[in-house]
Every structure is written in structure tokens, then in C-alpha cells.
Amino acid sequence: MATDSPSERKPPMKRVLDGRNETESERLDRNWSDVLQELRVLQAGTQILTAFLLAIAFQPRFGELDDYQLVLYLTLVSVAITTTVLSLLPVSAHRIMFRHLVKEATVRIGDRMLRAVVVGVSLSMVGTAMLIFDFVVGREAGVLAAVAVAVVVLALGFLVPLVVRNTVSKLESENPRKG
């Protein structure tokens, strides 16, 4: 009695039609790898920023914070800790879903968590600039610093990639690849 080889028992994999010669599974593996690489970059910065914020409370001048600065500080600590936790959760989700044939859901969840981490890091940076400038120079300087950092984050982290994506998409639709 002959048995089927493993390759004969599996359904055929459909090819993805995006110019890459990869199966859907290969695309999902690549996308998951991209999510993990991006998380590695964000984790270090998130953890350093969180540690910095936590260390502020142990500085001699911490008691000089006014009520506004104290609320801002506690909000920033909360956002930073939440962001740090979010940056670790995709790996936990992957462990739980590992070998349950839900790679697409794993990638989707990881992507959403990564987006939340980017928002959290951005808010933490804006707020940290605001707190430091407010404490060192004054309230107006804190607001200006926050606005300046927010503009940079929005411009370079959102608007520029959006413009590039839309421009490339438009060019590709006007000049489809021949092949």
C-alpha cells in the first residue's frame, strides 16, 4: 500500500501577484518578520524613554513640579509603560497562536499592536519634550516644544510616507509593469 508523500497531501499554494515570486505563506512569513524587525527598533527607544521617565521621580528637583507638570508626568509614565507593554505583546500573541495555522491573524494583530506602539512612542516623545521645556523654561516653551515635535513626527512619520505611497501608486497605475 503506497502512501502519499507530504507534498502530495498539501493543497497547492497560490502565488501572490505583487511582483514577488512567493506563496501566500511566504508573504505572511516575510510580513511577520517585518513586524518583528520594526518592533525591535521601537522597543529599544520605548524602553529607554520609559526608564528615563521613571528615573525622573527619583531626582532631587522632582518635588518642584507644579500640579500641571505632575499630571503631565504621570500621564507620560502611563503612556510609556502601556507602549512598552504593547511592544512586547506581538511576541506573546505569536507564542499563543504558534502552530495553530493562524499566521494571517498573527500578522494582522502584530501590525495593529505595532501601529499602537508607534502612536504611543509619538505621544511619549511629544509629552516628554513638553514636560522638559515646561519645567526648564516655562509653560509657553513647553507647548511650543510639544507642537514642534508633533509637527516633525506627523510630517516625517505620517505625511511623507503617505505622499510617497500615493505617488508610487499613481505612477504604477499609469505605467503598469510589463512582463
- What does each of the 179 residues of the chain score in pLDDT, given as a tens digit? 444 444 444 444 555 455 678 888 888 889 888 888 888 888 888 889 999 999 999 999 999 999 999 999 999 999 999 999 998 888 888 787 777 777 888 889 889 999 999 999 999 999 999 999 999 999 999 999 999 999 999 999 999 989 998 888 877 777 766 54
**Structural Rg of the chain based on CA atoms:** 23
Phi-psi region of 138 (alpha: psi -120 to 50; beta: other; left: phi over 0): left
Identify the CA nearest to 46 among candidates 128, 168, 163, 137.
Answer: 128
Domain spans in the chain, listed from the N-terminal domain onward? 22-172
Q: From CA 121, how far away is CA 53, in angstroms rounded?
A: 13
Identify the CA nearest to 120 among candidates 90, 78, 172.
Answer: 78
Q: Which pLDDT score is estimated for 14? A: 53
Q: pTM here?
A: 0.77
Angle, CA of 124, 129 and 131, to the nearest 5°: 90
Which residue's entry shows cell 507534498?
7
- Name, in order, each residue with C-beta under 8 angstroms of 135's C-beta and a sequence gap of 6 or more: 64, 65, 69, 142
Q: Which pLDDT score is estimated for 10? A: 46
Q: From CA 163, how far away is CA 139, in angstroms rounded?
A: 34
**C-alpha cell of residue 143:** 507647548
Q: Which amino acid is at 175?
A: N
